[in-house]
Every structure is written in structure tokens, then in C-alpha cells.
Amino acid sequence: MEQILKHFGQGIRAGLIAVLLFALFFGKDQTEENGGILKEVSRKTADEIQETDYRLYGDYKNLQIEAEKPEPVLTETFSSKKILINENIVWQDEIKAEDCNGKTYPVFLKKVVDAQGNILPLEEIEKEPGVLCFEEPGVYHLVVMVKSDAGKKKYYEIMLLIRQNE
């Protein structure tokens, strides 16, 4: 007997565990004919599922209307100006966002990136709200966001060339 348990012990143990798990998952319950964990879970899940309210699909029409609204177009005047170091730039006057109907949208400055790809802290560049001041010449990229009334967000990247004082 000892030799049999030593030789076949792990197989017997695995078989007993498999039978117990099978009984636990698929076994019969005392209160109902078909029980087990799987039946119990599926019964509770079926009770929690709510019937689909197809009246809510009327909102899809509103979603379509909002999606068809034109996206704002960004216009900037940085490229036509010569910007020098330590010059105060009121970026909100230089960047505008309008849709084809003429409605303007607010523009938010998200980040400023230098030519090497480093994100510059806005606290150092934005001396006061809405005013940028660069202390070194170079190429900078302003990443701005425009949010429409429909909640659509669109990001733009604007290149800004800062020149040395002459």
C-alpha cells in the first residue's frame, strides 16, 4: 500500500481534486435540481441584466447633428512677424480659432517644445497669463488645443522662430 501511494500518490491526489472541482462547479444544489457555482453565477447575472431601452437611441440623432458641425480652423500670425528674444508675445492675440460660420472658440496653450524636443515649463516662459517671453533664440513649437461646443478637441502645433536682437 505504501509503495502504491508513493508511486501513484500525485495522480490520485490530482484525480480527487478534479472530481471535487467538477462537483463544485457543476454539482447539484440541495435547494434546486441543477446547482453549482456556474449555474448560480449565471442566474444572478441574468437577473442583473437590464432590458435595452430603445427610446434612448433618439439621442443618436443629436450625436449625428453635433458630429456634422464644422471643426474650428486655426489661424496664426506668428509667421508674418519678426519676434526677438525677451519680447513679450501676447499669444492669444496671435492665435485665433473660428469655424466656417464665423464663431470663435477659445484656444488653450498646452505646452512649448524647443528645437531639441524638450518640453519647457510654462511657468518660466509665460511671464503673466497669456504673455510669452523667450530668453534664448531658436525654433520653438507651441502646442495649442481648441475645444468646440460639441466637445471635440483638436490639437495644433505652431512653429515659432525667435531671433537674436540686432
Report how far residue 125's alpha carbon sits from residue 135's, in angstroms, rounded to the nearest whole number. 8
Sequence spans of domains, the chain: 2-49, 70-163
> Which pLDDT score, from 0 to 100, does residue 48 have?
59
The secondary structure element, H or E, covering residue 132 is strand 131-132
pLDDT, tens digit (0-9, with 9 covering 90-100), for 14-23: 988 988 887 7
Cα 118 to Cα 112, 113, 140, 162, distances in angstroms: 8, 5, 10, 16
Of 50-59, 81-90, 152-161, least confident by mean pLDDT is 50-59
Domain over 70-163 is classified CATH 3.40.50.300: no
Residue 113's Cβ-side half-sphere holds a number of Cα atoms within 13 Å equal to 13
pLDDT digits (tens, 9 = 90+) for 101-122: 788 888 899 999 998 989 998 8
Residue 162 near residue 83, CB atoms below 8 Å: yes
Q: How far apart are CA 164 and CA 166, in angstroms?
A: 6
| pLDDT per residue as tens digits for the range 23-80 | 776 666 555 555 566 666 666 555 556 666 666 677 777 777 777 777 788 888 877 7
User: What pLDDT score does 45 carry?
Assistant: 59
Nearest to 133 by CA among 89, 74, 98: 89
Sheet bearing 83-84, strands edge to edge: 83-84, 153-163, 138-147, 107-113, 119-120
For residue 49, the model assigns a pLDDT of: 62
Window from 19-33, 90-104, 149-163 with minimum mean pLDDT: 19-33
